Amino acid sequence: MASATHLFPIRHDAIPSLLQKYGIVPTTQRIEIAATLLCERQHLSADQVLKRLTEHGVSVSKATVYNTLGLFAERSLVRQVIVDPAKVFYDSNTEPHHHVYNVDDGTLIDIDTANMCLEQIPYPPRGTFVETVDIVIRIRNTV
């Protein structure tokens, strides 16, 4: 499950095998949802994914979109990004990287971890393990 990270752009017909590689049964709806999010490096909310599907004439229920994106995240096919108190972003880029979030306009962009050295991370408490280390640079527009 989940070896080397996939490369963009991902062809539509490569998606079923990609899903299988992550232990996800490739159903019609899951393939469409994956195609929507994984077509390029991007950050979309569940609602945005649903909207894009609808706009392209693909009918998938809200529950399935939310459940499927949650499943993708659980299986590490995509990454959740928690920067906005109002919604979760799903990130098609699963390589280690951090984020710059523009609080004013909601823009979310990737920054490479290269050169950004984070040292002396404390040990996690007993009985716990580190899942992720997220760095978010919050920026605002100058007046």
Contact residues: Mn ion, CB under 5 A: 48, 51
Q: Which does 86 bind (CB under 5 to 8 A by kind): Mn ion, Zn ion, DNA, none?
A: DNA
What SS3 class is residue 100? strand
Contacts (CB under 7 A) with DNA, residues 87-126: 87-88
Q: Give the whole-angstrom CA distance, residue 15 versus residue 34.
A: 7
What SS3 class is residue 90? strand
Closest by alpha carbon to 108, among 119, 118, 99? Answer: 99
Q: Which does 30 bind (CB under 5 to 8 A by kind): Mn ion, a second copy, DNA, none?
A: DNA
Count CB-CB contacts under 10 A for residue 62: 10
What SS3 class is residue 125? coil
User: Residue 87 interacts with a second copy (CB under 8 A)?
Assistant: yes
Site string for DNA, 15-54 (x = CB under 7 A): ----------x-xxxx--------------xxx-------
Q: Which residue has the tokens 């971890």?
A: 113
Q: Which of 64/113 has CB closer to Mn ion?
A: 64
User: Residue 121 interacts with a second copy (CB under 8 A)?
Assistant: yes
Closest by alpha carbon to 69, among 86, 39, 54, 89? Answer: 89
User: Residue 95 interacts with a second copy (CB under 8 A)?
Assistant: no
Whole-Å CA distances, 72 to 82, 101, 123: 16, 23, 28
- Applying CB under 7 A, which residues contact DNA? 25, 27-30, 45-47, 59-64, 66-68, 70, 85-88
List residues near a second copy by CB under 8 A: 80, 82-85, 87-88, 100, 102-103, 111, 115-122, 124-125, 127-142
